[in-house]
Amino acid sequence: MTDWVSDTIDAVYVVAVLVFILGLKAMSSPVTARRGIVYAGVAMLIAVVVTFFSPGLSNFALIALGVAIGGLGGWYWARVVKMTAMPQMVAMFNGMGGGAAAAIAAVELLSTLSNQVTSGLSVAGAIIGSISIAGSMIAFLKLQGWLPSKAIVLPARQFVNIAVLIVGVGFGVSTLWTMNVVWLLPFFVLLLLYGVLLTLPIGGADMPVVIALFNALTGVAVALDGFALVNGPLGDAGYAMVIAGTLVGASGSLLTLLMAKAMNRSVGNVFFSAFGATEETGVAIKGSMKPIEATDVAAMMEYANQVIIAPGYGMAVAQAQGKVRELADLLESKGVAVKFAIHPVAGRMPGHMNVLLAEAGISYDKLFDRDEINAEFPNTDVVLVIGANDVVNPAAHRQGSPLFGMPILDVEQAKNVIVIKRGQGKGFAGIENDLFYRDNCHMLYGDAQAAVGKLVVALKQS
């Protein structure tokens, strides 16, 4: 009887893992992606349900209560939140996964502290899970605006961080060495603290890398928990966790590297350099920033053959995507070709701009990646930069600039560049933007939504 139940449960786990892989595979095309997540969702549901029937389990009431609280809470929260809050939601739910992995490791250590190998894997899972939840929560608070989004730099940061990590891991090793659980409390406290300290000095514009990396870390933590579980009485759940966790670890690592590469910085540089906390000095830029009126911009765009729109985080903050769609539709109705230039790290999470423009109903075949569109700028009459700064800064081509080498959108090569910007401030990197001083560049000051709204009104009147 028990064999029959266990075999069925195992078979379900195998199918679930297969569907997860197919679901991830479906993510490589916008046509199949939605089907993929639905299938993966069904597989997950069945995997969770059959786990209840595992032989030897007890505490069913508590389990059901926990699933109900977490499940309904997560479901409700993810339903009601606005699309613009997606980056922090991804960070939050990722943190929950890391926290669950750390908690599972803690239970494993409390219940079966006996074998150095198994418990060592639990300790490793606890380390990574704790860093992931604490770091993700800080990322969440920064993205939500409850903590300042710029780099928060504490004195003697590097030294303190390393010390906290080493001592924290030391407590984990002590647990294994002495087989005594008293070390676990300081162990978890210090690792959580390390996650906080690691993330505080990272500024908002580096969040795409951070979110992708913590996602990968949670995957690794889940896989490590799985390793520790395969020796236990219900080891097959462990295999499912090893596979799913490793899949996420691999895909998350790849995405992290892609994001870092898009900024021409190493992942280490993103995490340890407190980028953006210092400002570049001593570089004089010739020219001046020239303001322009919305009506002039409207006229310029109306007679253009092609307009390229380059959005950035400013569009997300002002929630201007709906107005941008209106502007694009209006221009197209007047026979102007409109395209969108998307930098991989524009915004606060990988693919952030794509999601916002899709929300506004802009077809994704009008969105172009940096590599696809850079060649088109010299033949473009007007480029409209909406709330983007560092990703269009030609300082990236200047040796000695902190941005040097970062692949950018070469908008300066267009005949006219209009930059919508709230004020004269610098970008996240704290670097003057040479672009704003070029002869072919004009500034349309204002909140992105208001400014694009003015353009729409002006175009309608003409």
Cα 317 → chain centroid: 16
- Length of the chain (residues): 462
Total binding residues for another protein by CB under 8 A? 120
Q: Read off φ and ψ for residue 119, nearest 5 degrees.
A: -65, -30
- Beta carbons of 415 and 380 less than 8 angstroms apart: yes
Q: How far is CA 411 from the centre of its chain?
A: 25
Q: How far is the CB of 283 from another protein (least distance, A)?
A: 31
Which one, 133 or 451, has the nearer CB to another protein? 133
Nearest alpha carbon to residue 277 among 136, 162, 431: 431
Query: For residues 216 and 297, which CB has a smaller minimum distance to another protein in the complex?
Result: 216
Query: Do 383 and 308 meet the contact criterion of CB atoms below 8 Å apart?
Result: yes
Q: What are phi and psi of 397, to 5 degrees?
A: -90, -5
- Chain positions 240 to 299 lying near another protein, rule: CB under 8 A, are 240-252, 254-255, 258
User: How far apart are alpha carbons 176 and 379 in whole angstroms?
Assistant: 65
Residue type, 442: H
Rule CB under 8 A: is residue 315 a binding residue for another protein?
A: no
User: Measured from the CB atom, is 160 or 317 closer to another protein?
Assistant: 317
Residue 296 annotated among the catalytic residues of the structure = no
Q: Which among 96-104, 137-145, 159-167, 451-459 is the span making contact with another protein, rule CB under 8 A?
A: 96-104
Q: How far apart are CA 166 and CA 144, in angstroms?
A: 31
Site for another protein in 209-228 (CB under 8 A): 211-212, 215, 218-219, 222-223, 225-227
Q: How far is the CB of 106 from another protein (least distance, A)?
A: 5
Instruction: In angstroms, give the least distance from the CB of 307 to another protein.
Output: 18
Give the residue from 240, 175, 212, 409 showing the smallest Cα distance to 308. 409
Q: How far is the CB of 39 from another protein (least distance, A)?
A: 11
Question: What residues numbered 353-412 form the site for another protein, per CB under 8 A?
Answer: 354-355, 358-359, 361, 363-365, 367, 369
Query: Residues 390, 434, 439, 447: which is the catalytic one?
Result: 390
Question: What single letter denotes the amino acid at residue 216?
Answer: A
Which residue of 123, 134, 229, 431 would you call a contact of another protein, by CB under 8 A? Answer: 229
**Locus of tokens 């080498």:** 405
Residues 20-79 that bind another protein (CB under 8 A): 20-21, 23-25, 27-30, 33-34, 36-38, 40-41, 44, 47-48, 51-52, 54, 56-60, 62-63, 65-75, 77-79
Q: Using the 8-state DSSP alphabet, how is residue 84 labeled? A: G
Among 5, 11, 107, 173, which residue interacts with another protein (rule: CB under 8 A)? 107
- Is 14 one of the binding residues for another protein (CB under 8 A)? no
CA distance 31 to 112: 47
Query: What residues pair up with 421 in beta bridges, in sequence order?
Result: 445
Q: Is 434 in the site for another protein (CB under 8 A)?
A: no
Q: Would you name the residues annotated as active-site residues? A: 390
